[in-house]
Structure 1
Amino acid sequence: MTTAFISHEDCGLHNMGPEHPEAPVRLLAIRKVLEKTGLMAELDQQQSVHVTAQQIQLAHAELHQKRLEMKVPKEGIFYADEDTALCPDSLHAASLAAGSGILAVNRVLEGKAQNAFCAVRPPGHHAEHNIPMGFCFYNNIAIAAIHALQQPGINRVAIFDFDVHHGNGTVDIFKDRPEVLVCSSFQHPFYPERYSEIKRDNIVNCPMDAHSGSAVFRQLIESRWLPAIQAHKPDMIFISAGFDAHHEDPMADIKLDEEDYRWVTSMLADSARTYSENRIVSMLEGGYNPVSLAFSVQAHMEVLAGH
């Protein structure tokens, strides 16, 4: 089983200030753990590529990128909203993050990798069709999923988001596209408080109270996600892999651990074997304690790599 690991050192150039939780150290911690454990040597390591304007427009309004470009400062930081800031290199990093999903889809569909994980930042799942928000500029997973749907043999896809925050941007982009199943588990009530109550056959929202823990998380996944997968039968599976529901993460209070991420990844890998010819593209979203993030990614990667 070949697993691609797609990343780029320039994703570390995006810097929203010394106190911001979505920091360059996140990717450094992931790489350090994967190298120390020897797992990195088993992976098909690839450099991210830039996304094109046409590919951004697969998921976003035509002027979305131009509006962002107008906000990029020549120096210092400009806040697009109260949480989301641009520095001079932010859109360079965001372009590489989004482009990594395109590369991942291509490598999987070309048979060069069975699955792929994109260790990139900034994340993407809060970026709506026409709004950057929640640390996100381009919706990386949505761009990748729509790119996949343009390829021969890919008629239905499914996106599974276990970040502690609801993937509102992904829901916004796909709410009226029944060929895309979007399943999201998240703490509620909690940021971003958008689309958590939406009613669509292809949107499976799984809100959880604070302090819910492993048992509630696993029960929700088994009772809500599995039937949805079985009904949808996706040709390819995408994962918005946010690890900020970990009990050591400072951002929220769901109280998961590495074994929960190993478990949910195994369940999705089993579904990919059944319905999707093992095709999985996973992209990093949240996770703001560098240590717990790195070990959670290790568990996720071990499953993808067949350990």
Structure 2
Amino acid sequence: MKPTLLLTAPLFLKHNPGEGHPESPARLQRILGVLASTPVRGTVMGAPRSATDAELLAVHTPALLERLRQLNGHTARIDADTVVSPDSVDAARLAAGAAVQSVEAVMAGQARNAFALVRPPGHHAEPDRAMGFCLFNNAAIAAEAGRRLGAERVLVLDWDVHHGNGTQAAFWGRRDVMYQSVHQFPYYPGTGASREVGQGAGEGYTVNAGLPGGNSDADYGMLFEELLLPVAEAFRPQLVVVSAGFDPHQHDPIGGMDVTERGFAAMCSSLRSLAERVCDGKLVLLLEGGYSLEGLSQSVHACVEVLAGRSDSFPTGDTHTDARDALRESRQALKPYWSALS
């Protein structure tokens, strides 16, 4: 059995948005501490490379690259949430490179699957704008790498508590990359309504499920089993990329959800099974948000166990009325495009 590849580097700890900022180096330190104290058999740790300009420009504008080059080596505030320290731009370029390298490893059959344990996160970064703690969009860059390496269809699924506006924007008019998101709505950044389904050639290839908050593992299981997975199965991706944000955790100080470690393991397990059915297991996870150090580290560890072979399932239980309403709205918006929802 090929190993699960884990990619990380000390440089990620040098991205420091400042005291009190939730996206702190302590997040990754705690994850790595838990993985070191409780190793997962079947995993191998690797060191990533930095993304090339060409890999970044597959998603981002030259103007954004130039702007971030100018900030390299400096401390600066891009917006109210997004701060760079002297090593941040180099760390972001390395995070994007880790995303590409993860895709390269699974596409080449060198790894069973992969998890890039990176900072800063990426899914809010739009093609022409850094925002929301994010500089480069790691998930979109990974999807483009998959396309270059021969995947005709790539699925990007985002379970972060915040909608990935940047990833959605990157593929809004395309059908070769499907973007799916389950998130809190309305919430930052304000995008992700069920009616947002893409446009032009991409109409029907953006799938949004917005929940109002307080939703459980069972609610997420319902959305996966009755919306996200049926559409994904019909799409038949040749690579699955996950924006793995752990801020829906019940103890997260920013999110408003009630997901547990078992819920995250179940989400990961369902996507591993999907990938095994449709694309020979080609699955890449990329770290996004998650700000409860204990909830984040334990949930990442649970997902790494799943990637290495453990299976988990969504707990049974009552679902919330508002989650059922959200499911109905999203299915209604997507039914014209996917017979699996009829």
TM-score interval w.r.t. the shorter chain?
A: over 0.9
Does 1:208 find its partner at 2:186? Answer: no
- The CA deviation string for residues 43-92 of structure 1, in whole angstroms up to 9 with x for no partner, is 12110110111110011112211012223453xx3110100001111101
- The CA deviation string for residues 95-122 of structure 1, in whole angstroms up to 9 with x for no partner, is 1100001111111122110100000000
Q: Do 2:157 and 2:242's aligned partners in 1 also have CA atoms closer than 8 Å?
A: yes
Q: 1:225 to 1:195 in 2, by over 3 A?
A: closer
Does 1:26 find its partner at 2:23? Answer: no
SS of residue paired to 1:117: strand
Does 1:236 find its partner at 2:239? Answer: yes
- What is the aligned partner in structure 2 of residue 174 from structure 1? 171
Q: For this pair of structures, how many residues does the alignment match?
A: 303
- What is the aligned partner in structure 2 of residue 164 from structure 1? 161
- In the TM superposition, what are the counterparts of 1:185-224 in structure 2 within 5 Å? 185-196=182-193, 197-200=195-198, 201-224=204-227
Q: Do 2:96 and 2:138's aligned partners in 1 also have CA atoms closer than 8 Å?
A: yes
- What is the aligned partner in structure 2 of residue 37 from structure 1? 38
Q: Do 1:59 and 1:173's aligned partners in 2 also have CA atoms closer than 8 Å?
A: yes
- The CA deviation string for residues 168-206 of structure 1, in whole angstroms up to 9 with x for no partner, is 110000111101111101001100003534232010001
- The aligned amino acid for 2:52 is T
Unaligned runs of 5+ residues in structure 1 are none
- In the TM superposition, what are the counterparts of 1:262-277 in structure 2 within 5 Å? 262-277=265-280
Most deviating of 102-111 and 3-12: 102-111
Q: Do 1:44 and 1:113's aligned partners in 2 also have CA atoms closer than 8 Å?
A: no
Q: Do 1:187 and 1:253's aligned partners in 2 also have CA atoms closer than 8 Å?
A: yes
- In the TM superposition, what are the counterparts of 1:50-129 in structure 2 within 5 Å? 50-72=50-72, 74=74, 77-129=75-127
- In the TM superposition, what are the counterparts of 1:4-23 in structure 2 within 5 Å? 4-23=5-24
Moved >6 Å (runs of 4+): none
- The aligned amino acid for 1:293 is L
- The aligned amino acid for 2:141 is I
- What is the aligned partner in structure 1 of residue 313 from structure 2? none
SS of residue paired to 1:218: helix
- What is the aligned partner in structure 1 of residue 326 from structure 2? none
2:133 to 132, 135, 140: 135
CA distance in 1, matches of 2:131, 2:232: 29
CA distance in 2, matches of 1:55, 1:129: 13
SS of residue paired to 1:227: helix
2:152 to 140, 152, 155: 155
- What is the aligned partner in structure 1 of residue 181 from structure 2? 184
Could you say which structure has the larger radius of gyration?
Answer: 2
Q: Do 1:172 and 1:195's aligned partners in 2 also have CA atoms closer than 8 Å?
A: no
Q: Do 2:252 and 2:295's aligned partners in 1 also have CA atoms closer than 8 Å?
A: yes
Q: CA deviation at 1:42?
A: 3.5
Unaligned runs of 5+ residues in structure 2 are 199-203, 311-342
Does 1:292 find its partner at 2:295? Answer: yes
- State percent identity of aligned pairs: 37
SS of residue paired to 1:223: helix
- The aligned amino acid for 1:107 is A
- The aligned amino acid for 1:289 is S
Q: Do 2:192 and 2:210's aligned partners in 1 also have CA atoms closer than 8 Å?
A: no
SS of residue paired to 1:63: helix
Does 1:253 find its partner at 2:256? Answer: yes
Q: Do 2:154 and 2:240's aligned partners in 1 also have CA atoms closer than 8 Å?
A: yes
CA distance in 2, matches of 1:239, 1:210: 21
Q: CA deviation at 1:146?
A: 0.4
Does 1:303 find its partner at 2:300? Answer: no
- The CA deviation string for residues 216-254 of structure 1, in whole angstroms up to 9 with x for no partner, is 221111111011112100001001000000011101111
CA distance in 1, matches of 2:294, 2:42: 22
- What is the aligned partner in structure 2 of residue 46 from structure 1? 46
CA distance in 1, matches of 2:284, 2:73: 33
The TM-score normalised by the length of structure 2 is 0.86
Tell me: higher relative CO, structure 1 or 2? Use CA pairs within 8 A at least 6 residues apart. 1
